[in-house]
Every structure is written in C-alpha cells, then in structure tokens.
Amino acid sequence: MTEPAFDHSEYLEHVNTITAQWARALGASGADAAVVPAGIAQMYFQDDQAPTFHPNPHFARFYPDDNCEHSILLVRPGDRPKLYFHRPASYWYQPPTLPDWAEVAFDVETHADDEQLMKALAAAVSGCSRIALVGPAESCDLNLSPDAVNPKALVSRLQFARAKKTAFEVARLREATEVGVRGHIAARDTFRAGGSEFDIHMAYLGASRQQESKLPYPNVIALNEHAGVLHYQHYDRARPDPARSFLIDAGGRSGGYHSDITRTYSANPGDEFDDLLGALDAKQRDTVAQVEPGVSFVDLQMRMHREVADLLVSFDILRCSVESAYERSVTDLFFPHGLGHLLGLQTHDVGGHFANEDGELAEPPERFPKLRFTRAVEPGYVFTVEPGIYFIPSLLKDLAASDAARDVNWPKLETLMPCGGIRIEDNVLVTSDGVENLTRPVFEALD
Ligand code: GLY
Ligand code: MN
Ligand code: MN
C-alpha cells in the first residue's frame, strides 16, 4: 500500500485552518474539547465480515487516509490536535503505518490495544469541563451524556464550513478528477469498441486504478433504457443489440475527496439523440459560465428548467411555449433531480441546505424538493452542475395522465425512449470573481 504523497506545507496550512474553525465552533457551542473517532466498521448481521470501512468525515478532514479505523483525534482550542493512533499487532490484516504527514500536523500517541487507547484518551480529557464527541458514538466509549454526542451547535458549524475548500482540498479534488477522467476515457472507448456494461465497468476500474469498494459511489454504467434509471446499479454481462446510448456516472477519490462526473454518448453520432445531448451539453456549459460569487443555486436550478423546456420545444417533443412548459412543471417529469450538490469528502456533501452556520435551513422551493443545494455560492465552494433529460416510463405515464398530454409529440418521444436519458455532470470551483470548471480541461488534457 503506497501512502498518498502530500505537499506538507499545504497540508499543515489546511490542518491549521480547520483547527481554527473547530476552535471557533467549540467556543460557540460551549465545549472545551472535541473527541473525534475515525470509527469502526460494523459487521453485517451475525457475520464476521464488514463493508469496506469509511471513516467519519469529521476525522477524515483532518486525516486524509482511509487506514485509520479505531484511531481517535482530540481537538482542543489552542493546542495542536492529538492523534491517538491505533496500530494493532495483527497477523490477520496488515496493520496501518503512520504516514509521515501525520506527524507534521499532530501530536501522536500510538497504541496497539484499543482499551489502552481509550484509557489514555479518557485520562487526557479528565480535566475538561465539557467534552463533545463528533462522530459515531459506538466507536468511543467515554460515557458522555447524550447531549454531548454530536451537538447540533457544533456539528452544524463544522458542516457549514466544509463547503469552502482549502488549497489542500482543492488539490485533492483535482487529483480525484484526474482519477475519474482516466476511467471515463477508457469507459467511452470500451463502449465504442462494443463492450457490455460489465466490460465498461471493468475498463473504468482498471484505467482509473480503483478497486470497486473504494469508489466514491457505485458506478452508473447504463446502456439504452437503463440510462433512464438515475442510479442504475447493475452491470449486464451482455451488450444489448442494438446498443443505442451510453450514460456513465462515475468518479474518483484522492485523500478521501470525491469527484462526481457524468457523460452521455450516442452509439450513432449525428442521430437525434446525439443532437439532443449535444444541445444539453451546450446549455450545461452556459449554466456553468453563470456561476460567480453571490449567485443563488436555486436560481440556477430554475434557469436550467427553462433551458430544458427550451430544448423539449425546439426538438419538437413538446408543442407548447417554453414558458408554459416551465410554468406547468412539465420539465419536472423530464428532469426529476436537482441541478447539483456540494462535493467534497462525501459525494453529496453536507451543508447544502444551511442558511447559516447555526444550522438554520434554507429549504428547497416546494417545486424542487430534491434540490440538495440552496446556498448562495461563495469563493472556494466546489459543487456539481448536472442537468439531465430522461425518458422515464413511470414519469411519462404521469405526463400522459396530465393536462399537458395533448402538448406532447408522443411518436417523437417514443423514438427517444429506447435511449433512456442524458446527464452531463461537471464539478466546478467558485473563484474570487467567477468559476473554474475542474472537469472539462482534464478531459481535454488526457484525451
Ligand atoms: N453520482 C451521484 C450524483 O450525481 O449525484
Ligand atoms: Mn452528482
Ligand atoms: Mn454523478
């Protein structure tokens, strides 16, 4: 296992930045120490096997490596964070080694034994007047009262702060993008060479050099109608005949940070589906270009629905005005998910609905309950922009039963239904005066 190589000064600056965030958040919540367990994988029911371990993201933001099960951080305002590093003397599994960057950022105490680790931690916090536990409570037995476990006043501040990335985090997101794009290029080429969903999935894993259990989220590898299942989860071993379309939603990870990228292709360049996906691609680029500090993501969502209405009318799928398709919510049946979400240590990163750091919510508009991101954007935020147009049988049934049914060119729609749908998804970074698309230049450079 090779360790991730980080620029130590950038990493230290990141840890200093987030340590200061924790100090402020602890102060506001009235606690004087935070205990942050990485977590312990939970076994399947009556089994001795567990799913692949995913660390507590509050821990992962300090410690950007997955090999940290049972380790615990102690964060106290004014002190360097202290890492209680768990290194069991196991011969069943390879014990983790302490990465060189960890000693740059933390005081470290290494324990082979879990109980000894907990005892040392309990002794260290015995003088604290108010301890908060931030993470999975079952992995840290300090006998705390329930209101000391993940207190909202603390956690909402930490989650709010995660939207704005440090330079270290942006560097990891760039790496995660490169990982994903390498896979995407191989996947596209395997589709063009006649591969099945399974072949494409394997090509993605190989080219992005990721094991399946470490993917940021399960690959969506969808041929034909499967592209109309938003998180389609199977990998058919046989290629359909004919293959018409291919949607791939797949990402990469680096230092725990995720990329989240979708592309759609036609098997028949120049056909109507290809034209439609090209037109949606152009609208997606236009929408990304609108991003700048202060823009409301809710406004972008509404703008994109108008753009989808425009495409449905201009491709003669709907025979009504663009405004009427938008106003009557007809677009909601073709584009049933939100335009995007925050991205970071989690694919659907936390805090997208926070109006402020106190955790008050900015709920999505009633019409768009699935929208995960309602904040005005600020420099340093990283999020996805992922419009779609899908031909989903159950939603088209709703359309057929609605007043708008008479405005639908059903024969045209039926020619597109076997293609399933289109989604185009890039990841963007808000800069001081605009936006940087993190995804597209990497495709251009690596292709
Ligand atoms: N891959 C999950 C999403 O795009 O939100
Ligand atoms: Mn996404
Ligand atoms: Mn995605």
Q: How far is the CA of 4 from the centre of ligand 3 (A)?
A: 24
Q: How far is the CA of 260 from the centre of ligand 1 (A)?
A: 6
pLDDT single digits (tens) 1-25: 455 678 999 999 999 999 999 999 9
> Which pLDDT does position 5 carry in this prediction?
77
- The DSSP result for 150-200, as a single string, is S-HHHHHHHHHHTTBPPHHHHHHHHHHHHHHHHHHHHHHHHHHTT--HHHH
Atom of ligand 1 nearest to the CA of 262: 4
Angle formed at CA 258 by CA 214 and CA 134, multiple of 5 degrees: 85
Nearest ligand, measured from the Cα of 370: 1
Atom of ligand 1 nearest to the CA of 216: 1
> Which pLDDT does position 3 carry in this prediction?
54
Tokens encoding 193: 């060479």
Q: How far is the CA of 242 from the centre of ligand 3 (A)?
A: 26
Nearest ligand, measured from the Cα of 342: 2
Distances (CA, A) of 147 to 72, 161, 360, 420: 20, 22, 19, 48
Mutate to test the pocket of ligand 1, among 260, 346, 439 (most ligand atoms within 8 A of CB): 260
> Which pLDDT does position 83 carry in this prediction?
98
Q: Which residues lie near ion ligand 3 (Cβ < 5 Å)?
A: 249, 260, 262, 425
Name the residue among 216, 296, 283, 217 with its Cα closest to residue 253: 216
Atom of ligand 1 nearest to the CA of 425: 4
Q: Tell me whether residue 132 is exposed, middle or buried, using C-beta atoms within 10 angstroms of its C-beta: 0 to 12, 13 to 18, 19 or more.
A: buried
Containing 261, the helix (H) or strand (E) segment is strand 261-266
> Which pLDDT does position 6 carry in this prediction?
87
- The DSSP result for 356-421, as a single string, is STT--B-PPPTT-TT----SBP-TTBEEEE--EEE--HHHHHHHHTSGGGGGB-HHHHHHHGGG-E
Given a cut of 70, the residues of the chain with pLDDT beneath it are: 1-4
Atom of ligand 1 nearest to the CA of 250: 1
CA-proximal residue: ligand 1, atom 5 (nearest): 348
> Which pLDDT does position 151 carry in this prediction?
96
**H-state helical runs in 263-374:** 272-289, 297-314, 322-327
Provide CB contacts within 8 A for 334, sequence distance 6+.
308, 312, 389, 390, 391, 395
Mutate to test the pocket of ligand 1, among 184, 264, 347 (most ligand atoms within 8 A of CB): 347
Nearest ligand, measured from the Cα of 383: 2
Q: How far is the CA of 231 from the centre of ligand 1 (A)?
A: 8
Tokens encoding 125: 């916090």
Q: How far is the CA of 261 from the centre of ligand 3 (A)?
A: 5
Atom of ligand 1 nearest to the CA of 423: 4
Q: How far is the CA of 69 from the centre of ligand 2 (A)?
A: 27
Q: How far is the CA of 227 from the centre of ligand 1 (A)?
A: 13
Q: What share of the chain is helix, strand, coil (3-state, %, to 5)?
A: 40, 15, 45
Q: How many helices (H) and strands (E) does the chain have?
A: 13, 15
Q: List ligand 1's pocket residues with C-beta within 6 A.
A: 217, 249, 260, 347, 386, 425
Look up the pTM and report it: 0.97
Q: How far is the CA of 341 from the centre of ligand 2 (A)?
A: 6
* Angstrom distance (rounded) from CA 264 to CA 424: 7
CA-proximal residue: ligand 1, atom 3 (nearest): 260
